[in-house]
Amino acid sequence: MMLSGPRKRVFEESVARNHKLPDLLANGAHTPHWLTVLNREVIACTRCPRLVAYREQIAREKRRAYRDCEYWGKPVPGFGDPEARVLVMGLAPGAHGSNRTGRPFTGDASGKFMYPVLYETGFANQPIATDRDDGLKLKDLYITAAVRCAPPDNKPTPQELANCSQFLDRELTRLEKVKVVVALGKIGFDAYLNYVKRGLDEAAASHPFDKLRKNSSEKNAENSAMSLSKEWGTHFRRSDYLFKHGASYRLPDGKVLLASYHPSNQNTQTGKLTRSMFVEIFKEAARLADE
């Protein structure tokens, strides 16, 4: 449901009263208004009954090691530099990680593996991520996810992915400086491809390419947008983009999609994803961002 005018303001004020935004939500710096509004809506979301029930159950029952912790237990918004050129697309919050701490990849094994790599490659100010008050800041990098709530068995349904895509589309559209997307795992990889496909479909229907309009007359912009949509819409097939660690693709939106295995325990403990492999991914992301 889309709200506008007075109803939207009432909704936002209600969310602000009842849902405190996580500290350092946008990296401890000034948070753009659009991101504040989006994150409040994310945190207040109850669109997926299965995910709501699961995230709240986990927050009530807790893991023994975190029995004294107050779990976040709500959807987890993105985190990082709103001016970033590199975007990390994850799968979903971990049940006892982000669902507990309220920040992506914070307080679980995946974060313990990833943040030292981000620190080494210049994207983070420290290698440790334990909670929202740990002083972590990201530079030139922003982290988001295909789904904002912890799903049972780390497997969101297609409908849950579709529900969350409404937030993802708004977020990615406003992160205007992104040049490289690092997809962690196949679900994150597919989520970004689906975002691009939705953009092409929308362009074909209504040609909303604002950047083109800035550089030409509206008529020329419409023709250019339609031409781009027709060219890529005809040839853009997800099956042409195979998920493989280290694979990179130049997409019709101009960004580079860089694939990586997800830093899950299953991948890191078995050696499927090593630290050196992960470091190379983010070194390549930095190189591509500088092109």
Place 162 in a pLDDT band, splitting at 50, 70 and 90: very high
Query: What integer pLDDT is reported at residue 216 of this predicted model?
Result: 46
Take residue 289 and report the two structure tokens written for it.
């961002």
137 found inside a domain: yes
Give a yes or no: residue 6 inside a domain.
Answer: no
Q: Is the pLDDT of residue 70 over 80?
A: yes
In this structure, is residue 117 part of a structural domain? yes
For residue 245, name the pLDDT band (cuts at 50, 70, 90): very high
Structural domain includes residue 53: yes
Quote the pLDDT of residue 281: 98
């470091």: which residue's tokens? 279
SS (H, E, C) 170-237: HHHHHCCCCCEEEEECHHHHHHHHHHHHHHHHHHHHHCCCHHHHHHCCHHHHHHHHHHHHHHHHHHCC
- Look at residue 53 in the predicted model and tell me its pLDDT: 98
Q: Which residues contact 172 (CB under 8 A, 6 or more apart)?
A: 87, 144, 178, 195
As a whole-number percent, the residues of the chain with pLDDT over 90 amount to 75
Whether 192 is covered by a domain: the verdict is: yes
State the pLDDT confidence band at 27, using cuts at 50, 70 and 90: low
At position 68, the amino acid (one-letter code) is: D
Q: How many domains does the chain divide into? A: 1
Global pTM?
Answer: 0.83
Above 60 in pLDDT, residue 231?
Answer: no
Instruction: Identify the band that residue 202 occupies on the pLDDT scale cut at 50, 70 and 90.
Output: confident
Determine, yes or no, domain membership for 3: no
Q: Is the pLDDT of residue 223 over 60?
A: no
106, pLDDT greater than 80: yes
What pLDDT does 95 receive? 96
The identity of residue 269, as a single letter, is Q
Tokens of 266: 């299953």
Residue 144 placed within a domain: yes
In-domain check, residue 275: yes
pLDDT bin (cut points 50, 70, 90) of residue 238 is confident
pLDDT for the residue 187: 97
The domain that holds 151 is classified in CATH as 3.40.470.10
168 and 147 in contact (C-beta within 8 Å)? no
Among 48-52, 117-121, 174-178, 236-240, name the one with the lowest average pLDDT: 236-240
Token pair for 187 = 């679900």
pLDDT at 23 (0 to 100): 42
Question: Which range marks the domain in which residue 277 is found?
Answer: 19-289
SS3 letters for 58-99? HHHHCCHHHCCCCCCCCCCCCEECCCCCEEEEECCCCCCCHH
What pLDDT is recorded for position 124? 98
Decide the pairing of beta strands 79-80 and 141-145. Answer: antiparallel
Q: Among 52-61, 190-199, 218-227, where is mean pLDDT lowest?
A: 218-227
